[in-house]
Amino acid sequence: MQQNNGLDKSQLISFGIFSMILIGFMFYFQNRNAKAEQEQLAIDAKKTEQTTKAKPLATNLNAATVTPASVQKVNLQNDELALEFSSIGGQLSSVKLNKYEAFGGKPLYLFSNNNASYGFQFKDKTNKVFNTKDLVFVPTVAGNSVTLTSKIGTAVIQFVYTLKAKYTVDFQVKTQGLATLVNDGKAEFIWDYTVKGAEKGRSQEETHTEFAYSFNNYKDYDYDARTDMNEPDETLNWIGVKQQFFSAVIEAKNGFTKSKGNQEIIEEGEFLKKFNYNGQVNLAGNELNQDFTWYFMPLDMELLKSFDKNFDEILPLGWSFIGSLNRYVFMPLYNLISSWGVAAGWAIFWMTIIVKLILSPVMFKQHKLSAMMKVIRPEIDEVNAKFKDADPMKKQQETMAVYRKAGVNQMAGCLPALVQIPLFYALFRFFPNMIDLRGKSFWFAPDLTAYDDVIKFGFKVPLLGEHLSIFALACTVVILIYTVMTSGNIQQPQQEGMPNMKVLMYIFPITFLFFLNSSASGLSWYYFVSNAINIVIILVIKYFILDEKKIHAQIQANKQKEPKKEGKFQKRMREMMEQAQQQQAQQQNKKK
């Protein structure tokens, strides 16, 4: 057997020669590629210089040197996006979503008619500021790509846009010779965007129009709807402006730093808000050679999740448990029902039925409790009359004794009410943000994500606006009927200055009308069905489940028996009342 003693001398020499040849080839091809790229940039710069020789480069779009004849427009298009690029600033001047329409059947544009502008701002060595938005570029189109080239001094700047699938536009920035102009190693990306309304409900869409951005390597997300945004310490992976159902987002592969922005509400007209964003990008060797990506997306959950860039957080489904309800309960449930070929309005109907069935044990207990409290109303009135002039605490104790003898636990009614609060807020988020409902009509509502306005006033009514939603009105009437049916067990205040709870219960549905009148009609339809089911349940319990005579007889029999041993909760409540009585008596003695 031969022993391996390692490499001999001839093998080492051969390995060294081979390594030198390999390294030589690498340097040769690297220099050759770099030289070819420089030559191409020089050719593009020469074309730009020839094109703009008679028209000096502008540093201000209002300068007389920039004329309509100097503005060139080029286009790219696929099934999803139709893009237009302008030679002024090398920007996207128009972005149209081909598969969607704005309200009224109009084309849906995110960028159009100079409502958006963006560019990179530099300081030259004399501290003068120049921005690519103010430069004239020369466009060339090749397949699904557009290259826009501009020259400022001895520097060449290129923007290369490539239209891709899934509403994506790659945006490469290349410079050569920029280092002869700047030396501070940074540039600012400035984006001004006046958002145009695309939906029927202005107030609702304005509420959902806001900054959205991700940081910490796409792991964290934040938004800002009302105030100035300021993220001086975070590196943003992407920054976007979202509307109710659509968003424009720019991603920086190397990130934006020292980000700040502001927003301003536009009270009326076709535009909703004006946004301004300013973020810093770092230069390598005072040259800007970085990759960016534009996304012009519908806020569809499956599409957003497919990017794996935390885009799904843009969809405002609510935080924590509320958002989880929408993501893992309501959205899958609606998608499942609609997949059966059911119309959107009926899908909401069956979704309501299923949710009610799931909650039926809890809801049944609440409705049964409400019905029983109405049955024992005479006994409660008897206690109130008997202890009319007694101490309020004593009267409360006797009232609780009646409930206890009848087997009614007042606190049991709190749990169902608490359960409904997160459901209400989740649905409040679900219906205005479910893009599958957008444009879906049902009866007299042309769009279930907006209000119906069959009844138009022709003038503004305080709190209501210029219309009355039939769905909101129907929902309010049903809630009023439900309130009348369940308010019989509410005690009237026995002390002066205490609010009348019955009056408050009747006021609530009226205020609900003002809230729902400008909200998504799908939400009003859901609550109409939900409360109609509640009424049916109460009627079934009253006429087919509860035996009022039996309950009364049981209460009278319990009066003759020795009182049952108090439970822990009843004992604690009694002790608290007694303690409160003692404190009240002490206070009265002090006053005397």
**Do 206 and 341 fall within a single domain?**
no
Are the C-beta atoms of residues 387 and 399 closer than 8 Å to each other?
no
Tens-place pLDDT, residues 329-378: 999 999 999 999 889 999 999 999 998 888 777 777 776 777 677 777 77
Phi/psi for 105 (5° steps) reads 80, 15
Side chain identity at residue 130, one-letter code: F
Q: Is residue 130 part of a domain?
A: yes
Site of tokens 């009848």:
406
**Do 303 and 167 fall within a single domain?**
yes
Angle between helix axes 392-406 and 377-386 (nearest 10 degrees) is 150
Q: How many CB atoms lie within 10 A of CB 281?
A: 19
Between CA 426 and CA 73 the distance in angstroms is: 45
The answer to whether residue 153 scores a pLDDT higher than 90 is no
The answer to whether residue 588 scores a pLDDT higher than 70 is no
Across the range 205-220, mean pLDDT stands at: 92
Q: Residue 121: its pLDDT value, please? A: 94
Predicted TM-score (pTM) of this structure: 0.76
**Do 168 and 286 fall within a single domain?**
yes
**Do 211 and 358 fall within a single domain?**
no
**Nearest one of 502, 497, 479, 496 to 377, comparing CA atoms:** 502
Domain stop point among 282, 316, 350: 316
- pLDDT band of residue 164 (cuts 50, 70, 90) is very high
Copy the structure tokens of residue 84: 């237009």
Share of the chain above pLDDT 90, in %: 38
**Do 266 and 336 fall within a single domain?**
no
**Do 407 and 390 fall within a single domain?**
yes
Q: Is residue 554 part of a domain?
A: yes
Q: Residue 55: its pLDDT value, please? A: 37
**Do 393 and 538 fall within a single domain?**
yes
More confident position, 435 or 61: 435
Q: Is residue 578 part of a domain?
A: no
Are the C-beta atoms of residues 173 and 59 closer than 8 Å to each other?
no
Burial of 8 (0-12, 13-18, 19+ CB in 10 A): exposed
Q: Is residue 567 part of a domain?
A: no
Full domain range(s) for residue 98 = 46-316
Q: Is residue 237 part of a domain?
A: yes
**Do 361 and 499 fall within a single domain?**
yes
**Do 70 and 133 fall within a single domain?**
yes
More confident position, 20 or 97: 97
**Do 387 and 504 fall within a single domain?**
yes
More confident position, 550 or 265: 265
**Do 230 and 118 fall within a single domain?**
yes
Share of the chain above pLDDT 70, in %: 73
**Do 392 and 527 fall within a single domain?**
yes
CATH code where residue 130 lies: 2.70.98.90
Domain stop point among 297, 316, 335: 316
In sequence order, the 6+-apart residues with CB closer than 8 A to the CB of 288 are 120, 157, 173, 174, 175, 178, 187, 281
Q: Residue 372: its pLDDT value, please? A: 72
In sequence order, the 6+-apart residues with CB closer than 8 A to the CB of 193 are 115, 116, 241, 248, 274, 275, 276, 277
Between CA 7 and CA 293 the distance in angstroms is: 51
Burial of 400 (0-12, 13-18, 19+ CB in 10 A): middle
Question: How many domains in the chain?
Answer: 2
